[in-house]
A = this chain, B = another copy of it.
Amino acid sequence: MDKNNAAAVKQWLKDHRARCARFLQVLVQENSTRGNESSAQALIIEKCRQLGLTLDIWEIGSEELKEHWAYCCDRQTFEGNPNVVAVLKGTGGGKSMILNGHIDVVPVGDEKNWKNDPFSGQIENGKLYGRGSTDMKGGTAAMLMAMEALIATGTRLKGDVIFQSVIEEESGGAGTLAAVLRGYTADGAIIPEPTNMKIFPKQQGSMWFRITVKGRAAHGGTRYEGVSAIEKALLVIQRLQKLEQERNAKIDDPLFEKIPIPIPINIGKINSGQWPSSVPDLAIVEGRMGVAPDEAILSAQKEMVDCLTELSQQDKWLQEHPLEIEWFGGRWLPGSLNNDHPLMKTLSDSFQEIKGKEPVIEASPWGTDGGILSNVGNTPVVVFGPGITETAHDANEHIILEDLFTASEIIALTVMKWCETAD
């Protein structure tokens, strides 16, 4: 890599911080909750057009996609809200790099909890506020600014840089899966999800489950004539608590050392009963099962099914009225990259160079589209970004602009090293 070019790229980014912040601001101001991604994508498309990138804009939803094993999506239509990929073609001979960000943001929740309009993009004390600022339009802005810096400084690369602005990450990753199926894979990928500037080579996967527990109704005054679905659901929940302990006892990866429960089983919902003085005849338990970075989704599912089968064998009622287990809604594939993978070294070195200190390397407690990129697209993935983990999905979501600027420098440097400068 040409040291002078690196210095020029860094200087360009330092000189254009206001432009970077302004771009993120307008991007946040476009509400891109699920089904409304088009206007934010239009800003992305216009930016890529200005940069002279080769654009690929398409509506996802092919039969191939919908029949793929990793497809997990309940969306009715993708019409009008395209996926966007924009390629900075290399001169040849270098390694390729995917820079992947999702444009969809989660709902704002209760607006009363926001001190300003959730899509204000307001800047205050070095922070930019708004839904999506941290998760993950900030990461997307960092990537696009890094690419602009390379182009503006005339830096030519050997390998391709494939920028992606996908939909549907928050709902199971159909956008990134569609990009993989369209042929977009690479020698490495960075996904700047909000990691607090930590580097996550491994990501916990997860999936949702719904367990239906049957009972038999009776009047509460003679409750012994019925079978309480709530009491049976308690058995299920207690067995799942034990399963969580068993599964986590097996995790020995040092990256999880500081994490109290590396792969939690979260009981997120229970609904049972319609009348205080009736014995409830139905209980629905819903939750999220964490999947270890190097575990197969199907094997995790089997563990839960097996343990609930074992529970049912010890209970006459459950034997005769089997639990129903469904895997519904969201599913995020886990991801795992070896700590000594060259992508890790390249990114860590760049981090060290810009920040003057070692990066913190951990495993992420949540899944990202990295699971699809690595498992389906066979692309090594590292998750690293400027957003704040804790404010993602929360009211008053925000990003620290200084981190955004720093991340764009680290990403630019990493791309230059990974793809190699051409002359």
Contact = CB atoms under 8 A, between A and B. Distances in A.
A192 interface: no
A260 interface: yes
Contact of A273 (B231, B260, B269, B280): B269
Interface in A230-282: 230-231, 234, 237-238, 260-261, 264, 266-280
A421 to B, nearest CB: 38
A277 B268 contact: yes
B264 A221 contact: yes
A268 B264 contact: no
A156 to B, nearest CB: 41
A287 B276 CA distance: 4
Contacts of A271: 270-272
A84 B339 CA distance: 83
B204 A221 contact: yes
A132 to B, nearest CB: 17
A272 B273 contact: no
A212 B419 CA distance: 58
A69 interface: no
A277 B206 contact: yes
Q: What's the interface size class on A, roughly?
A: 35 or more
Q: Most chain-B Cβ atoms within 10 A of its Cβ — which of A221, A330, A366?
A: A221
Contact of A228 (B204, B267, B274, B288): B267
A119 interface: no
Contacts of A175: none
A384 interface: no
A73 to B, nearest CB: 16
A129 interface: no
Contacts of A275: 268-269
Q: Most chain-B Cβ atoms within 10 A of its Cβ — which of A261, A283, A367?
A: A261
Contacts of A219: 365-366, 393
A238 B238 CA distance: 12
A220 interface: yes
A200 interface: no
A169 interface: no
Nearest to A393: B219
B278 A268 contact: yes
Contacts of A23: none
B221 A230 contact: no
A100 to B, nearest CB: 20
A290 interface: yes
A222 B268 contact: no
Contacts of A273: 267-270, 286
Contacts of A210: 276
A222 B270 CA distance: 19
Given A276-B329, A277-B330, A220 B288 contact: yes
Given A221-B206, A264-B223, A365-B221, A288 B270 contact: no
A208 interface: yes
Contact of A209 (B223, B237, B276, B330): B276
10 contacts: A206-B221, A208-B277, A219-B393, A220-B287, A221-B366, A222-B365, A222-B366, A223-B264, A234-B238, A266-B276
The 5 closest A-B pairs by CB, nearest first: A220-B266, A269-B273, A277-B288, A221-B365, A220-B288
